[in-house]
A and B are shown apart, each in its own frame.
Chain A
Amino acid sequence: MWGLWTAVGLVVAAGLGLGLVFAAADRVALTGAGPKALVEPVRSALRSLLEQRRTTLAPDRLLWRTACAAVPVLALLSMAVVPVGDRTLLSTSADLVWFNAMEALLWAAVWLIGWGPNAVHSLVGGYRFLAQGVAYELPLMFAIITAGLGAGSLRTTDVVAAQSDLWFVVTMPVAFVVFLGSAAAFAFWGPFAAPAGADIAGGVLSELSGVERLLVEAGRVVLLGASAAMAAALFLGGGSGPWLPDPVWQLLKTLLVTAVLVGVGRRLPVLRPDRAVELAWMVLVPATLLQALVVALLVLAGAYG
């Protein structure tokens, strides 16, 4: 039996570990660094802690600081329903909605990070984040619910168990891609990095320094790592696989998803946020709805056991 605090500590450590791995993979993709890439995120984190903090004229300190702290907290809360070694910290009848709700709370947090410092580039970045959010939120909801539909349950462990015969990625490729794309967009990373774009001097991140920058950057990579683990659980059969024990397979699949996400995401150009909504609503919403329809018909035909 796990004690509750041991379990919480384990899940937090898993989240931070996945975040560190993602940050290292990201650095390898950007700079072509070797094994040193694993040390570099830790080193820049320590540097952030020692750095002198900057502030702006008349910021809204309460909302700004709350939002900075909220980003890593929400990323770790989303880990609560991600399987770590065959079980989840929190197993409810609505795990998938929990995961999405923690991501959605980032809407509020990131907009506030943009609004808080009373600075124009930062605010523009916050609004860019919302503009992208309006685009991908609906396709993401359809993608997540498609996995729940195939399993007949919103519980993560049930979704993993329902893939014992066939991984969901085979029948739900569109949902899989949309899920990973939305994770990148929630972390405003890769092709969705316009809210923190160089054309607006770093956008939402422009006025962050010291521990606040560390919190936000850590939250972003933890969310990406958690999403990679969740994608492995929802679409790649979780821990199922031959010879090796389940947690090892789960980890290997998560690392594979991380590598693919970084490899593809860093090769795509940054999407202009004013183009995102039309693309998402004219292409992705119909595509994810069709995907849900196909899965619903397969469920009726008894394809998922």
Chain B
Amino acid sequence: MNDTLLSDPAVIAVVVLGAVSVGSGIAVFVVDSMARATFALLVSFLAIAGVLLALDLVYLAVVTALMMTIEMAIMAVFMIMFMMNPAGLMPMTMVHNGRGSAAVGFVAFVALTVGIWTTDWPSRRGQPPADTTRQLGEAIMGSHMLVMLVVGIGLFATILSGTILATGRGRYDRFGADLRATRPDDPTPGGLPR
């Protein structure tokens, strides 16, 4: 690395934010509270969003921040639904199978690091486009449409199956065995008059 590269603010930002991301990732396994673990993970993702911002990929950066924040908040909803200690205010261990997960994490880290430093990366050809958001949109809606559709439908199917597995009440509980009830029989009424 030469001096001009290290004095570039974008490079400094990537290095610092990368360190923040790894550090708060480690913190997820060190802290003893559910909320701190959740938000350490969020800080890690927000640092990644910052790295993307430093690389001038604004859309990917803000979408990462947006989705990961909502994801962590939804996780807080699930905490109250499924955990025995929904508030998470008592100290508790956040690690399951500590040795196994540490081994998997270490091996993955070593494999990625070795891969990154031993790959013969090609040098840049051409210039980055002025509008990376448009380029991304054209890639998603054009050459990579099939992949994105498959991934999208796969994710949606996962969400549906997860919800179906988690819910204790199906349509037969709501609309009766023959599904003929005009009003669903719900323990708490929804917002619509039906």
Interface residues of A (CB under 8 A from B): 58, 60, 62-63, 92-94, 97-98, 100-101, 104-105, 107-108, 111-112, 115, 118, 123, 127, 130-131, 133-134, 137, 154, 272, 274-280, 282-283
- Is there a chain A Cβ closer than 8 Å to B174's Cβ? no
Report 14 cross-chain contacts, Cβ distance below 8 Å, ordered by A residue.
A60-B35, A92-B58, A93-B131, A97-B63, A98-B62, A104-B70, A105-B65, A112-B39, A123-B87, A134-B77, A272-B191, A274-B190, A282-B191, A283-B192
CA–CA, A177 to B129, complex, Å?
36
Decide if B63 touches A127 in the complex (CB within 8 Å).
no
Given A93-B58, A133-B73, A154-B133, are A274 and B36 also a contact pair (CB < 8 Å)?
no
Decide if B70 touches A60 in the complex (CB within 8 Å).
no
With both beta carbons as reference points, the residue of chain B lying nearest to A272 in the complex is identified as B191
- Is there a chain A Cβ closer than 8 Å to B110's Cβ? no
- The interface size of chain B toward A, counting residues with CB under 8 Å, comes to 31
Decide if A104 touches B35 in the complex (CB within 8 Å).
no
CB distance from A47 to the nearest CB of B (A): 31
CA–CA, A108 to B188, complex, Å?
27
Interface residues of B (CB under 8 A from A): 33, 35-36, 39, 42, 58-59, 62-63, 65-66, 69-70, 72-74, 76-77, 80, 87-89, 131-134, 188-192
CB distance from B72 to the nearest CB of A (A): 6
Decide if B33 touches A60 in the complex (CB within 8 Å).
yes
Residues in chain B near residue A133, CB distance under 8 A:
70, 73
Decide if A94 touches B59 in the complex (CB within 8 Å).
yes
Decide if A112 touches B63 in the complex (CB within 8 Å).
no
Residues in chain A near residue B188, CB distance under 8 A:
274
CA–CA, A111 to B39, complex, Å?
11
Decide if B191 touches A278 in the complex (CB within 8 Å).
yes
CA–CA, A274 to B189, complex, Å?
8
CB distance from A34 to the nearest CB of B (A): 38
With both beta carbons as reference points, the residue of chain A lying nearest to B87 in the complex is identified as A123
Q: Could you list 7 further interchain pairs (A-B, Cβ under 8 angstroms) beyond the known A104-B69, A105-B69, A279-B191?
A: A98-B58, A101-B66, A108-B72, A115-B76, A130-B74, A130-B77, A276-B191
Given A93-B133, A278-B190, are A63 and B59 also a contact pair (CB < 8 Å)?
no
Q: Which listed residue (A108, A280, A283) contacts B69, Cβ 8 A?
A: A108
Residues in chain A near residue B33, CB distance under 8 A:
60
Residues in chain B near residue A131, CB distance under 8 A:
77
